[in-house]
Amino acid sequence: MAAEQIANQNNEIANVKIEKPESEFKQMWYALTRNKAAVVGMAIIGFLIFLAVFGKFLMPYDPNYGDMSINKLTPSAAHWFGTDEQGRDIFSRVIDGTRVSLSVGVAAVSFALVIGTLFGAIAGYKGGKIDTIIMRFMDIMMSIPDILLAITFMAALGRGIDKAVIAIGLVSIPEYARIVRGSIMSIKDSEYVQAAKVIGNKDGAIIFRHILPNVLSPIIVRATLGISSAVLNTAALGFLGLGVQPPYAEWGDMLGRARVFIFEAPYMLIFPGLAITITVLAFNLLGDGLRDAFDPKARH
Whether 102 maps to a domain, the answer reads yes
State how far the Cα of 196 lies from the Cα of 202, in Å rounded to an integer.
9
CA distance 188 to 283: 31
**Structure confidence at residue 300 (pLDDT):** 55
pLDDT value of residue 182: 85
Would you say residue 199 lies in a domain? yes
Angle between helices 251-258 and 90-126 (to 10 degrees): 120
Closest to 30 (Cα-Cα) out of 262, 224, 289, 271:
289
CB 123 within 8 A of CB 237: no
Q: Is the separation of the CB atoms in 150 and 237 below 8 Å?
A: yes
Residue 83 inside a domain? The answer is: no
N-term to C-term CA, the chain: 47
Q: How far is CA 57 from the centre of its chain?
A: 26
Q: How far apart are CA 57 and CA 227, in angstroms?
A: 25
pLDDT value at residue 67: 83
Domain presence at residue 16: no
CATH of the domain at 176: 1.10.3720.10
Q: What is d(CA 110, CA 9) in angstroms, rounded to the nearest whole number?
A: 59
In whole angstroms, give the CA distance from residue 133 to residue 278: 39
At 20 the pLDDT is 45
Please give the pLDDT value at position 47: 94
Quick check: is 18 in a domain? no
Is 227 a domain residue?
A: yes
231-248 b/e (C-beta count within 10 Å ≥ 16 → b): bbbbbbbbbeebbbeeeb
**Residue 11 in domain:** no
The pLDDT score that the predictor gives to residue 22 is 55
Of 217, 223, 214, give the one whose Cα is nearest residue 110. 223
Give the pLDDT confidence score for residue 8 in this predicted structure.
57
Identify whether the C-beta of residue 125 lies closer than 8 Å to the C-beta of residue 190: no
State how far the Cα of 249 lies from the Cα of 94, in Å rounded to an integer.
Answer: 7
158: containing domain: 23-56+88-299
- Asked if residue 13 is part of any domain, the answer here is no
CA–CA separation, 58 vs 287, rounded Å?
29
Q: Which helix (H) or strand (E) holds 189?
A: none
At residue 195, the pLDDT reads 76
**Backbone dihedral angles phi then psi of residue 85, each to the nearest 5 degrees:** -70, -15
Please report the pLDDT score of residue 18 as a whole number.
Answer: 43
Those residues of the chain that have pLDDT short of 50 are 13-14, 16-21
How many separate domains does the chain show? 1
Name the residue type at position 165.
Answer: V
